[in-house]
Amino acid sequence: MREEFQADLTEVSRLLVTMAEAVRAALRKATSALLTADLKAAESVIERDLEVDELYRQVESKVADTIARQAPVASDLRMVITALHISADLERMGDLAEHVAKTAARRHPSPAVPAELRPVFKKMGEAADQMADKITNVLARPDAALAAELENDDDTMDELERDLFQILLADDWPYGAETAIDGALLGRFYERYADHAVNAGHHMYFFVTGQALAKPA
């Protein structure tokens, strides 16, 4: 029974890694679509979000199946349920990548972000990408230091969001309200993506080790 249970967890973990890789690729492509006004890339992100949603259903179904067959209790049960939280975070990250892509597509052929904002969105995209890479690794190698790094990465993202708002709210902002609003919403999509990555990382650490990640000092 114990061996079967471990095999089930491994299967759930495999689905979660696939999901994490998919939402990482989605935001990479969405950021590129945003920075280069690439409609095809944006449309591909929007279409492929269905695959993430399908993986989400597979995780849920596998978790229900595992609980029903193995009847885990105590910490085993908590670990299995944690997989649902992880997949909910990853599913939401996929949605947020899709929102970025939709913003890029809506303004096409104009770029959704003016030249002044491109450097900060490039950095936000890179920070998010690093975080998505790390959570994939936490599943394969449950390293507390790696999971804790996500907190610092998230601080970086928050700083980038503040930089963004400083540009948007400068007295000499020349692009009007629509571009300011798009910029602010886009900033929020990246910031939320990073937040969900932090949550997913914590849950993943628990999922693999059965122990909560200590809060960083």
The contact set with a copy of itself (CB under 8 A) reads 60, 63-64, 67-68, 71, 73-74, 77-78, 81, 84, 88, 165, 168-169, 173, 176-178, 180-181, 184-185, 188
Q: How many CA atoms lie within 13 A of 141 on its CB side?
A: 6
Q: Cβ 169 to a copy of itself, closest distance in Å?
A: 5
Min dist CB 23 to a copy of itself, Å, is: 18
Minimum CB distance to a copy of itself smaller for 39 or for 184: 184
DSSP class per residue in the chain: -HHHHHHHHHHHHHHHHHHHHHHHHHHHHHHHHHHHT-HHHHHHHHHHHHHHHHHHHHHHHHHHHHHHHH---HHHHHHHHHHHHHHHHHHHHHHHHHHHHHHHHHHTTS-SS-GGGHHHHHHHHHHHHHHHHHHHHHHHS--HHHHHHHHHHHHHHHHHHHHHHHHHTSTT--SHHHHHHHHHHHHHHHHHHHHHHHHHHHHHHHHHHSSPPPPP-
**Shortest spacing between CB 40 and a copy of itself, in angstroms:** 27
Residue whose CB is less far from a copy of itself, 60 or 116? 60
Question: Closest approach of Cβ 171 to a copy of itself, in Å?
Answer: 9
Q: Toward a copy of itself, which CB reaches closer, 72 or 201?
A: 72
Query: By C-beta, is 36 or 110 nearer to a copy of itself?
Result: 110
In the complex, the smallest distance separating the C-beta of residue 128 from a copy of itself, rounded to whole angstroms, is 19
Nearer to a copy of itself, 88 or 146 (CB): 88
